[in-house]
Structure 1
Amino acid sequence: MKFLNKMERKFGRYAVRNLSAYIIAFYVAGYLMEVFTPDIFNYLTLEPYYILHGQVWRVVTWLLVPPSSLDLFTIIMLFFYYSVGNTLERTWGSFRYNVYIFGGVLAMVVGAFILYGILGGNVMFATLFTTYYVNLSIFLAFAATYPDTQVMLYFLIPIKMKWLGIFYAVILALNFFTSSWIYKIMMVMSMLNFIVYFIGTRNLKRYSYQNQKRKWDYQKAMNQGRKTEHKNADGTITRHKCAVCGRTELDGDNLEFRFCSKCEGNYEYCQDHLFTHEHVRRH
């Protein structure tokens, strides 16, 4: 992230503003070509063989090839992706959104050349690397950034973005594990920008062994505390007792007791001393 911040300070002024509008414009141009000159797509697809033999425009023009036929549902989805893309650009800033989109496009081009080299050339990739994954990466990034945003699925069913994101992630995972290694490489490279973004925005420290052990110890202390009974001087038995003031649940109906995760040992405190007590350390 520090590297990206430095890059933004240095090259941020060159970022393409409103990039989503250009993406949609590419699709519109592609659909017009599909109607009037469909054969031209044979010269626009991402084919490393032809690129290495002089047709260098294919590095960019494959973005003109629409991922599906034009219908009402496609038009609705284009408006949806335009809205989602604009929201991400306003949230991240134009430079970071540019890096995300162009980084994904570059990864797909690199992936095509990797497969071309592995398979020995003369292999057609037009059906593998398409703009479908550009759209999917935008959608997944939005779902990860705004998981609780609610949309109307098919204009009827209210659903949060995180559930749609999980659904598509599961579909991708199933396709990945059931496909050949060629498709595995293609899928990894096609979604590399989202993979990097997702990992980079997660707080991985919470999954560390030290943090997990602290949570296990805390849960263990809580479970032990639920089973512990305290015998008071007057002979009454209680389940909760503050380690500072000695109050129990019998001293008030509104008293609440919690264990402190930072104290080393089975120490329980009332709400008045949970955040004010001195933590117990074993030496």
Structure 2
Amino acid sequence: MLNQLLDKLERKFRRFSISNLMLYIVLGMAVFAVADIILMTNPNNKVFLIDMIEFDRGKILQGEVWRVLSFVLVPPEFNMIFLAFALYFYWMMGTALEHQWGSFKFNVFYFTGVIGCIIAGFILGYATNYYLYVSLFLAFAILFPDEQILLFFFIPIKIKWLGLFSAFGLVVAFIMGDFQTRIFLLLSLANLILFFGKDVASRCYYTCRRYYYKWFKNK
């Protein structure tokens, strides 16, 4: 159903899709990160660019409307080695997903996540792009489960195991978190739920059913 709808939309709106979207996102993150690192060299400086692009409902309502979208360019941690690795990983995942789906479907996936984060931000007053990129990682893990990366730069591990660990953490956060946390998770991961929710639920159901009959019915 979803694929049929996306195929129809792609035929009509393909020309509006952004090719190499993650390249532009990663370059934007790098620019803001490097700019703030340079600003940090001035001990008297108190203005940082990243503070000016974070999602803040109060400031958006006061007129800083660019924050509605600019928060997607907030980079991860500022350790230069980790930052370089994280940005490369974002680019690699986004490029792989775009090659798998095509530019249009990848754009839909990414911007559905962005819209979910924005809605969560206006409901709860804050938003972060963290879960947006978690959804990117989990989509990559679902589609390319046997891809290997070097954990801590020297331990080879298949991406599916990291994906399962990350998914488990999200489930725990959803169960243990308060109402606001649950709303934020559901909205921020709306793209992942839309694209993979049905398939993952079906796979979990049939896996549980198979082991149930294996362990209990055959005894």
Query: Normalization by structure 2: what TM-score?
Result: 0.82
Q: Which has the higher helix share?
A: 2
Q: Do 1:29 and 1:64's aligned partners in 2 also have CA atoms closer than 8 Å?
A: no
> Partner of 1:16: helix, strand, or coil?
coil
CA distance in 1, matches of 2:184, 2:100: 29
Q: Do 1:26 and 1:63's aligned partners in 2 also have CA atoms closer than 8 Å?
A: no
Q: What is the letter of the counterpart of residue 18 of structure 2?
A: V
1:171-190 superposed matches below 5 A: 171-190=169-188
TM superposition shift of 1:178: 2.5
- Ranges in structure 1 where 5+ consecutive residues have no aligned partner: 117-124, 225-283
Query: Normalization by structure 1: what TM-score?
Result: 0.65
Q: Give the fraction of aligned pairs with identical amino acids, expressed as a percent.
A: 37
TM superposition shift of 1:193: 1.1
CA distance in 1, matches of 2:157, 2:204: 28
CA distance in 2, matches of 1:176, 1:206: 18
1:36-51 superposed matches below 5 A: 36-37=38-39, 38-51=47-60
TM superposition shift of 1:28: 0.8
- Given candidates 62, 77, 94, the residue that maps to 1:68 is 77
User: Which stretch shows the higher mean deviation, 160-169 or 196-205?
Assistant: 196-205
TM superposition shift of 1:90: 0.4
CA distance in 1, matches of 2:204, 2:148: 27
> Partner of 1:152: helix, strand, or coil?
strand
The total of aligned residue pairs comes to 206
CA distance in 2, matches of 1:36, 1:110: 33
**1:191 pairs with 2:200:** no
CA distance in 1, matches of 2:34, 2:184: 28
Q: What is the letter of the counterpart of residue 143 of structure 1?
A: A
Q: Whose radius of gyration is greater, 1 or 2?
A: 1
Which residue is equivalent to 1:280?
none
> Partner of 1:87: helix, strand, or coil?
helix
- Ranges in structure 2 where 5+ consecutive residues have no aligned partner: 40-46
Which residue is equivalent to 2:135?
137
- Given candidates 30, 33, 36, the residue that maps to 1:31 is 33
Q: What is the letter of the counterpart of residue 23 of structure 1?
A: I
C-alpha root-mean-square deviation of aligned residues, in Å? Answer: 2.7
**1:115 pairs with 2:124:** yes
Q: What is the letter of the counterpart of residue 146 of structure 2?
A: D
1:61-101 superposed Cα distances (whole Å, 9 cap, x missing partner): 22232232132122112112211211110001100000111
CA distance in 2, matches of 1:43, 1:206: 42
Q: Do 1:143 and 1:165's aligned partners in 2 also have CA atoms closer than 8 Å?
A: yes
- The alpha-carbon distance between structure 1 residues 97 and 200, as it changes in their structure 2 partners (threshold 3 A), is farther
CA distance in 2, matches of 1:131, 1:203: 25
